[in-house]
Structure 1
């Protein structure tokens, strides 16, 4: 048997029992692994449904251009379907989204416009506003508007809900979903509640989003809105696809907990998933006191970890945000173990001969070069040798004529792994600014000393 095109492989994703990360959480915890869709996310389902509906209604015409504001996954589903069906794509996204998501969209031939995150939805610079303006300006274009297009929820009512019901043989008691556009939780939840009204539908929200307070009070509180790091969930407005009547409660999860839990899912379950899965598991653990041993809980794992390699799966990124405090050596700890010594520098106007004498007298091989007190380059024994072999008369020339690019700069939280990767035959050291603003140097010897000490 074969499929006629890649779109026919969407759906029928596996349900997998979690065994380690949810230890201590009562009940059977099952993950719906949506990464097995061809676009590696649950958004493939609704992307194709929105296009099919638009074709039937005449809103999307042959050779048209699909324009959408997307955090990446919906864009991937739309781009994939567009290739099969013969459409062009222009996507707007926010500068909060991972580089991997943007690169993936461009790999599928889409044009991607990155817009600022920290603006109101109605601001003309927001990714919502820019996509709406492009729809007006680009001939024969159509904007799916995943937030308010109810084909989004309908896709999950028709597909995701029935799959979960059949896979659990109707035993599901709780559905846990990170909420962004609201399509997954509302469509799936509606189907499941029609099968059994006692099934609890839990939405996972993030701090900086309006959903939880609105559900509990009916108040849309703009003071709840502020920038957050977690991707794929939470909003600063109320999408039409969020059916608050279907959702029984919302639970907020911090950026830190969502990020660290994302990594833990990979490390403890061997399942490589994205940020919203970490938030969903984090929220489930926070709500564990509401569960009983006989409960059957399904958690949606929306997308793939490969889209977050520069973020949640990058230890330096986590450290920079204060999310990761571990025993691994950092630049700060290496400096603390290093003997106090003034960094040796040479001004760019000094002669090559003076550089040779300094290298000899200090018994060092490379020296940072300064200009008006700022480090602008470096001079190494090998640079001097190469230059003098070509032109012995350069001895009296200023070192600015033969200096090379400066040593790489790192911050105090940079890990030993990252520092080691930066030290190579071109760079025998890295530079770091300490807490007082003073520039320090870390060499390979300092790393070895820190490890052995």
Structure 2
């Protein structure tokens, strides 16, 4: 019989898959190293187990101990698998920009999850770097992993991922393309491949808001390069020790929008359901296509699974909110098409101001129509409520009919965007009749802005 002694023995030996449609226009053979086949669905399984085993070997991690790490989610999953099999506790410190799916998955496999704000400096005591270190100092019998500076991270890819790619390509690989975060994957793979063939080119994919590309090109750590970004898993506002810039031939930066769009394209055009950094990697590869020749073999690494991003890149509403969906807007109906199947949010004449406030906050609205016996008889806006508040701060129990304004103007569904714009210049909102059954939706200036 052939079977693994535990789930950790299934890590590695992930497939190399030819890309066909998403890389059209690239004059080379492009192969994807699909790391979602690891049991934790990401490349981070490799280094997580390596770091744990090396810490066990030298006594940093003792029986019954607690593993503590700052993670974007995937390293935490790999550590969780190791913790389950080996009998450790795990505390994962994660930034609030990471997807809810990542946090839920970590909790599902027994990790304690501590969420920290994204938009703070690394030295800030609230950052996930600082919180990780503090928890490690406060927790008895604990080990702080520190994947950014832990040499076992890069070593795992030198020992595993690099040799796999070399063997799978029969030594014919000419370029390796991968997103850069902690630096372990790119540095470990690059070290192995360049030892085999120094002519192999190593390209790192960076994101806007990260310091890697400029630092590699100039040696300058520019604070002005650092700002918040949406892309997960790549880019940094620090220089991890695992990033060996001497092994990297160049970087290209990819926008948040392109990363999200190409994440979806990989699923739609290749049938490979992978995560956000894969979208960045493919768009970056396309930006680098002038460097490739017909006889080249380009390997791009797909870090993790698309299941981590179902509520983000694979959610139309989220993509629309970010302005990433390419949509054609010509009429008033186009502006509300995304909410046409949703019930109209309204307030009734006899309801209270507190009810209107609640619905505005819950649905992130500034304007509500007012109904009486299923007919629209008025409207209420933030301006109405602010005006009432200036008169009396005790307004929560006032009936809506006492403060409502005239009903929103009703426009035809085929009204042009120019007509909508002209009307909204003097009015806070409009109502568009979506079908013949008096099914209305509200158009606001925000809807118009979303069409730009």
Pick the TM interval, shorter chain. Answer: 0.7 to 0.9
Pairing 1:65–2:56 present: no
Aligned counterpart, 2:351:
348
2:95 corresponds to which residue? Answer: 94
Tell whether the 8 Å contact from 1:345 to 1:369 is kept in structure 2 after alignment: no
Q: Quick check: 2:332–2:432 contact (8 Å CA) kept in 1?
A: no
- SS of equivalent to 1:203: strand
Structure 2 residues not aligned, in runs of 5+: 341-345, 354-370, 386-396, 400-423, 442-452
Instruction: Go from structure 1 to structure 2 and tell me whether the alpha carbon gap of 1:366 and 1:3 turns closer, same or farther (over 3 Å shift).
Output: farther
**Distance 1:370-1:142 versus aligned 2 partners, 3 A rule:** same
Residue of structure 1 in register with 2:229 after alignment: 228
RMSD: 3.0
Residue in 2 aligned with 1:290?
Answer: 291
Q: Is the 8 A contact 2:434 2:440 kept in 1?
A: no
Distance 2:213 2:438 in 1: 47
CA distance in 2, matches of 1:40, 1:447: 48
Q: Indicate conservation of the 8 Å contact 2:348/2:372, yes or no.
A: no
The 1-side partners of 2:264 and 2:331 are apart by 20
Q: Deviations over 1:244-286 (max 9, x none)?
A: 0111001100111111000000000000000000000000000
Q: Determine the structure 2 residue equivalent to 1:247.
A: 248
Within 1, Cα distance between the matches of 2:264 and 2:139? 41
Q: Distance in 1 between matches of 2:271 and 2:336?
A: 36
Q: CA deviation at 1:134?
A: 0.2
Question: Which 10-residue stretch deviates more, 4-13 or 317-326?
Answer: 317-326
Contact 1:346/1:370 (8 A) holds in 2: no
Gaps of 5+ in 1: 351-356, 375-397, 401-433
**Pair 1:259 & 2:250 matched:** no
Distance change >3 Å, CA 349–CA 289, structure 1 → 2: closer
Matches within 5 A, 1:267-346: 267-327=268-328, 333=334, 346=349
2:333 and 2:434 in contact (8 A); partners too: no
Q: Distance in 2 between matches of 1:213 and 1:132?
A: 28
2-side partners of 1:347 and 1:370: how far apart?
13
CA contact (8 A) 1:31 1:298 kept: yes
Provide the C-alpha distance between the structure 2 equivalents of 1:232 and 1:444, rounded to a whole number of angstroms: 44
**Aligned-partner Cα distance in 1 for 2:331–2:66:** 49
Cross-structure match for 2:179: 178
Distance 1:331 1:94 in 2: 39
Cα distance in 1 between the residues matched to 2:331 and 2:43 = 38
Provide the rounded CA distance (Å) in 2 between the counterparts of 1:329 and 1:12: 50
The equivalent of 1:417 in structure 2 is none
Deviant stretches of 4+, over 2 Å = 327-336, 347-350, 364-374, 434-450
Contact 1:334 1:446 in 2 (8 A): no
What secondary structure, in the 3-state scheme, does the structure 2 residue paired with 1:245 have? helix
Deviation at 1:325, TM superposition (A): 2.1
Corresponding residue SS for 2:124: coil
Quote the offset at 1:348 in angstroms. Answer: 3.1
Change (3 A) 1:334 1:319: closer
CA 1:3 to 1:226, structure 2 compared with 1: closer, same or farther past 3 Å? same
* 1: CA distance, partners of 2:11 / 2:336: 52
How far does the alpha carbon of each residue in 1:313-343 deviate from its partner, in whole angstroms, 9 at most, with x for none?
111111111111224899862569x9xxxx9
Q: CA deviation at 1:444?
A: 6.7
Counterparts of 1:152-191 in structure 2, within 5 Å, are 152-191=153-192
- The size of the alignment, in residue pairs, is 381
Distance in 2 separating the partners of 1:296 and 1:8 = 29
Secondary structure at the aligned position of 2:150 is classed as: coil
